Structure 1
């Protein structure tokens, strides 16, 4: 059964999360530091829930680094799967087999979203529920802790955690098989919609009620079963059609336009509810995700704005090549070598200055754009992927292996989704031990094997476990070893593989040489650590049987390689940032959907919550990651210059620096409570941007939108040259002319209002053509890209509330302006039902009386 692709058989049996006999266990609050001391432990860049004193110091030190023990300066996170119980005849991998002293975190895979939008592992009291109601009599080390009101894996996780208190456990929700549905008690898949339905309505708006229900249930679940946090494995909230599990396409594709917005609300809601629970329980709860690493998937996830809410991200830097297409390549290369056949065929190298995006180094740098290096963990696979019938390439590498009959492509690949890229000819039988089953119960070709089986193939040993996985070597030639499996290694890619020349089979592997190089990379780059999918794929040699089986050889290598590593990187910025900070929110939006999102040209918005104007001519600087060529530009009339370039040219051997930095000149004053937008242009996906500074009046300030540690929020002194005039209606921008051609960013006046061109235009009348962005009534001051409000707020001398009245049922994006209680208010971020002036979240900025 294949790693991330298998449907496990836990299900939702009862409407409620827990049976009545399950006692809710809430940790008694420990003595903890005062709020100021807790803030000293907050990781750099981590979102701060307003009005809540979060006990960060229970998990982090005063540098904002996670405390994991003297011999664990870097994370070693292992996924433990629910389905390897031994009940089906295949080898078991139980909690007692985990190398507890060599890991720092264990992610239990998987829980799911049930039909009531709650987290679930099925009916806790159902017979043989592996999580809560299964035992393993006679297995040494798998004896239950009788003090707990449940058995199963959860009992053993808590039993061993008591013996290893430095290890943290997280419940992982979703996965490939249970992002959009779940398996019920009878073993049938329920197409419930899962994350897609829980987060997003049928009209592609945010399902606030569903998200709140889910987040509340997560808090209860963690308290009940003793978990230290939740890991969201949502595959995938991307705007790209036909992404993720083909069984989810009907649910997901209909909601693509709303998935990014709802994902951000989901993660913010989880963060805030976990923080409130932490304040009550006296312990900080972790919030993490398993995130895609492919540039194609990430292009549809905007700038991954949800990263600010996470303790750390686990990059799924594997599954980068596989039999879903015919391009034969490594599962989890560390670097690009300039020869990736899939990227070359797509013209990627020529289009993006030689940068290839199907490798671990690119994925790390993507997330580095928004996070300190220590809040990024790279994924390593303890499993293989592979093809049969390979032609060309070097011992198969970068060859081709198309399925001979392209009318029979597996679901989600090739002709089954109308793609012109041929589906691959995945390896089968003896070369596909951990295979998936399709909806008809047939083997899905893919070359998926645990590393211990790959070691046996390499040694030419037929293991005694084959029948437990449904193989019948006595009667089926495909289930027998034939030919020789020769190990190959590319130092340029940091990728090993097995090549069977007789069978033309290519199996991409992970072994001690590649893993040692990745561990050294983690150390050198200051990364937080590694994430393993999955622990049961690790190997050890059984001399009595003369074969490899489940073990901890690779995990031990990681532990030995990382135990003396220096502390991980805890600062988001690579430059010295100012300590004086302005209350200015930063947001990215306006992304096109799916394949239309190229070139990538979102709007960067600055919202001024300082109480004083930001003058025209202010200098805005920020970093963006080197995952895109250093050619970022703008199309809104803001002068842009490059400050520093972190990388140029191809990324063979890795991207050289973390960030590129640019400077933009704000062309018009930004009044208090107002915002300014600039449209950016870049080619490959980025997270962030980050590390913003604003300079004017002889001072340089940081911005609160970065959630940096330390610093002092200040109000800038008024600047006469940048003040916004209190009244007047003179249009100072040139009058629009039908005969004039305007480039993107051009500013005109028309019908008493100022307008900004989004792109090149001629003959299209402002107010009737979407190319023109309405910047509001003329104020006597040119404002090429500033908008006091999108709703026509009253001038400062007015006495009535012209902004729309706040409504509890309306969802407001950041920057929205409303009136309430005789005052005008600006939303600092997305909000719904938070009452201006009375809520404790700080979402609404009071702009004064109408």
Structure 2
């Protein structure tokens, strides 16, 4: 059972690595994916790098430098507000930021694996271009291993140096959103991505195994993959899965404020009354799992994704059933950080009527006529999903992401998957 730690959570959300320890969540995790590392055009190809630069693509996908941001400041330069062990960090220490705290977290929780996650929604720009040839794949993979696993961080802000991050990361998680298309408009994409994704995983596996053989260690290789049938069809699950330790299936974000009508964020089962059309009707967790199994992925390599957040609309009429389900809203509901998006820790305190849909097994909250409508997971929903994981013989579950559940209530429920 694992979860993502978002590097930017240390800012507005005030969620430090220290919180993973103090909340007791660290004892309930087998792995943490640290999100994210970016890949840049560099040295005639594409390489992992460490820079501090605001990501313009999040608010303006048409910006000429969209997708080229980075946050080395959060990664290993800044001084955290709180530390895992309560110790101050010397001003001249070569390593600080989240990386040092992850190292300390591992020392206190030796069973915990830390994995660097590359890409994500905003930083998948160069995966396609960097995977186009064998030479480019070798260059990209080698550069990422050099920074994150060999720990060779560029010296900046008084931090960094050869080998200073060695021993923090136990593997690499590739979060390419998405091969062939469907991600940010600034991404490089190509029909050849379908097979190049497989070849990229093979290259990561080969280089990770070579490093592991030299160090007598097994380095992990995982991937976060889209759960929509259209996304699954743009990859070769039977082929690439052989290189993976496991696959994180992103069974969330099925619906949101980009839809005109209210619908579920992360429902487990399909509702025959769903008003979606086309491939959107296939955006269902159980269907995604079955597609992956039928496509040749072993059950023991699949992890079900669980959101620690919800998606919502405002201006929602009651509709014939009085609960606002499948009704047209006027806009995305106001969120603390993003329109139509809110962390569980906020949603749990919202007033309104909560419903557990008998078919989809998803919770939704309706505040009343013309008000807000939110779909999210709570401990009851997660218990159903954990049972599903056990019944299906899957490897486990993971969540996006830790700071949405600051006190660990949801992570405690997911932990029962063991």
Give the shorter-chain TM-score range.
Answer: 0.7 to 0.9
Matching of residue 177 in structure 1 with residue 122 in structure 2? yes
Matched residue SS, 2:121? helix
Structure 1 residue 298, shift from structure 2 partner: 2.1
Structure 1 residue 128, shift from structure 2 partner: 7.3
In structure 1, what is the Cα distance between the partners aligned to 2:328 and 2:374? Answer: 13
Structure 2, unmatched stretches of 5+, are 54-69, 152-164
Structure 1 residue 302, shift from structure 2 partner: 5.1
Matching of residue 315 in structure 1 with residue 315 in structure 2? no
Conserved? CA contact 1:110–1:121, under 8 Å = no
Conserved? CA contact 1:333–1:495, under 8 Å = yes
Matching of residue 455 in structure 1 with residue 387 in structure 2? no
In structure 2, what is the Cα distance between the partners aligned to 1:382 and 1:335? Answer: 18
Conserved? CA contact 2:238–2:297, under 8 Å = no
Compared with structure 1, are the counterparts of its residues 502 and 101 closer, same or farther at alpha carbon in structure 2 (3 Å cutoff)? same
In structure 1, what is the Cα distance between the partners aligned to 2:123 and 2:282? Answer: 27
Compared with structure 1, are the counterparts of its residues 177 and 361 closer, same or farther at alpha carbon in structure 2 (3 Å cutoff)? same
In structure 2, what is the Cα distance between the partners aligned to 1:338 and 1:376? Answer: 26
Find the counterpart in structure 2 of residue 244 from structure 1. 183
Of residues 189, 200, 223 in structure 2, which corresponds to 1:266? 200
Matching of residue 434 in structure 1 with residue 359 in structure 2? no
Compared with structure 1, are the counterparts of its residues 326 and 178 closer, same or farther at alpha carbon in structure 2 (3 Å cutoff)? same
Find the counterpart in structure 1 of residue 63 from structure 2. none
Structure 1 residue 341, shift from structure 2 partner: 1.0
Structure 1 residue 148, shift from structure 2 partner: 7.1
In structure 2, what is the Cα distance between the partners aligned to 1:320 and 1:374? Answer: 24
In structure 2, what is the Cα distance between the partners aligned to 1:142 and 1:258? Answer: 50
Find the counterpart in structure 1 of residue 174 from structure 2. 232
Matched residue SS, 1:132? helix
Matching of residue 507 in structure 1 with residue 390 in structure 2? no
Structure 1 residue 168, shift from structure 2 partner: 0.4
Conserved? CA contact 2:232–2:292, under 8 Å = no
Q: Which has the higher contact order (CA 8 A, sep 6+)?
A: 2
Structure 1 residue 300, shift from structure 2 partner: 3.0
Find the counterpart in structure 1 of residue 239 from structure 2. 305
Find the counterpart in structure 1 of residue 282 from structure 2. 357
Of residues 82, 97, 105 in structure 1, which corresponds to 2:19? 97
Conserved? CA contact 2:83–2:101, under 8 Å = no
Q: Pairwise mapping of residues 272-311 of structure 1 onto structure 2 (< 5 A)?
A: 272-301=206-235, 305-311=239-245
Structure 1 residue 145, shift from structure 2 partner: 6.9
Matched residue SS, 1:523? helix
Matching of residue 398 in structure 1 with residue 326 in structure 2? yes
Q: Pairwise mapping of residues 145-224 of structure 1 onto structure 2 (< 5 A)?
A: 149-180=94-125, 194-199=126-131, 206-220=132-146, 221-224=148-151
In structure 2, what is the Cα distance between the partners aligned to 1:562 and 1:511? Answer: 15
Find the counterpart in structure 2 of residue 122 from structure 1. 51
In structure 2, what is the Cα distance between the partners aligned to 1:393 and 1:492? Answer: 18
Matching of residue 554 in structure 1 with residue 404 in structure 2? no
Matched residue SS, 1:551? coil
Conserved? CA contact 2:115–2:170, under 8 Å = yes
Conserved? CA contact 1:127–1:134, under 8 Å = no
In structure 2, what is the Cα distance between the partners aligned to 1:107 and 1:127? Answer: 16
Structure 1 residue 197, shift from structure 2 partner: 2.0
Compared with structure 1, are the counterparts of its residues 168 and 139 closer, same or farther at alpha carbon in structure 2 (3 Å cutoff)? closer
Find the counterpart in structure 2 of residue 846 from structure 1. none
Conserved? CA contact 1:230–1:286, under 8 Å = yes
Matched residue SS, 1:449? strand
Higher percent of residues as helix: 2
Matched residue SS, 1:493? coil
In structure 2, what is the Cα distance between the partners aligned to 1:131 and 1:291? Answer: 24
Compared with structure 1, are the counterparts of its residues 308 and 101 closer, same or farther at alpha carbon in structure 2 (3 Å cutoff)? same
Structure 1 residue 397, shift from structure 2 partner: 1.6
Of residues 360, 367, 391 in structure 1, which corresponds to 2:292? 367
Find the counterpart in structure 1 of residue 160 from structure 2. none
Conserved? CA contact 2:316–2:369, under 8 Å = no
Find the counterpart in structure 1 of residue 389 from structure 2. 522
Larger Rg: 1
Compared with structure 1, are the counterparts of its residues 160 and 140 closer, same or farther at alpha carbon in structure 2 (3 Å cutoff)? closer
In structure 1, what is the Cα distance between the partners aligned to 2:38 and 2:80? Answer: 24
Matched residue SS, 2:349? helix
In structure 2, what is the Cα distance between the partners aligned to 1:277 and 1:290? Answer: 23
Conserved? CA contact 2:173–2:222, under 8 Å = yes
Matched residue SS, 1:83? helix
In structure 1, what is the Cα distance between the partners aligned to 2:86 and 2:368? Answer: 43
Conserved? CA contact 2:149–2:170, under 8 Å = yes
Conserved? CA contact 2:397–2:417, under 8 Å = no
Compared with structure 1, are the counterparts of its residues 376 and 393 closer, same or farther at alpha carbon in structure 2 (3 Å cutoff)? farther
Structure 1 residue 231, shift from structure 2 partner: 0.3
In structure 1, what is the Cα distance between the partners aligned to 2:356 and 2:250? Answer: 22
Structure 1 residue 258, shift from structure 2 partner: 1.9
Compared with structure 1, are the counterparts of its residues 108 and 128 closer, same or farther at alpha carbon in structure 2 (3 Å cutoff)? closer
Structure 1 residue 500, shift from structure 2 partner: 1.7
Of residues 535, 544, 547 in structure 1, which corresponds to 2:402? 535
In structure 1, what is the Cα distance between the partners aligned to 2:105 and 2:173? Answer: 20
In structure 2, what is the Cα distance between the partners aligned to 1:164 and 1:363? Answer: 33
Conserved? CA contact 1:499–1:505, under 8 Å = yes
In structure 1, what is the Cα distance between the partners aligned to 2:71 and 2:225? Answer: 33
In structure 1, what is the Cα distance between the partners aligned to 2:237 and 2:391? Answer: 26
Q: Pairwise mapping of residues 640-651 of structure 1 onto structure 2 (< 5 A)?
A: none
Find the counterpart in structure 1 of residue 161 from structure 2. none
Matching of residue 376 in structure 1 with residue 302 in structure 2? yes
Q: Pairwise mapping of residues 465-480 of structure 1 onto structure 2 (< 5 A)?
A: none
Structure 1 residue 294, shift from structure 2 partner: 0.9
Compared with structure 1, are the counterparts of its residues 140 and 289 closer, same or farther at alpha carbon in structure 2 (3 Å cutoff)? closer
Structure 1 residue 328, shift from structure 2 partner: 1.9
Conserved? CA contact 1:136–1:143, under 8 Å = no
Structure 1 residue 535, shift from structure 2 partner: 0.5
Conserved? CA contact 2:84–2:105, under 8 Å = no
In structure 2, what is the Cα distance between the partners aligned to 1:208 and 1:382? Answer: 38
Matched residue SS, 1:457? coil
Structure 1 residue 174, shift from structure 2 partner: 0.5
Structure 1 residue 232, shift from structure 2 partner: 0.4
Structure 1 residue 303, shift from structure 2 partner: 5.0
Conserved? CA contact 2:52–2:72, under 8 Å = no
Q: Calculate the aligned-residue CA RMSD, in Å.
A: 2.4
Question: How many pairs does the alignment contain?
Answer: 375
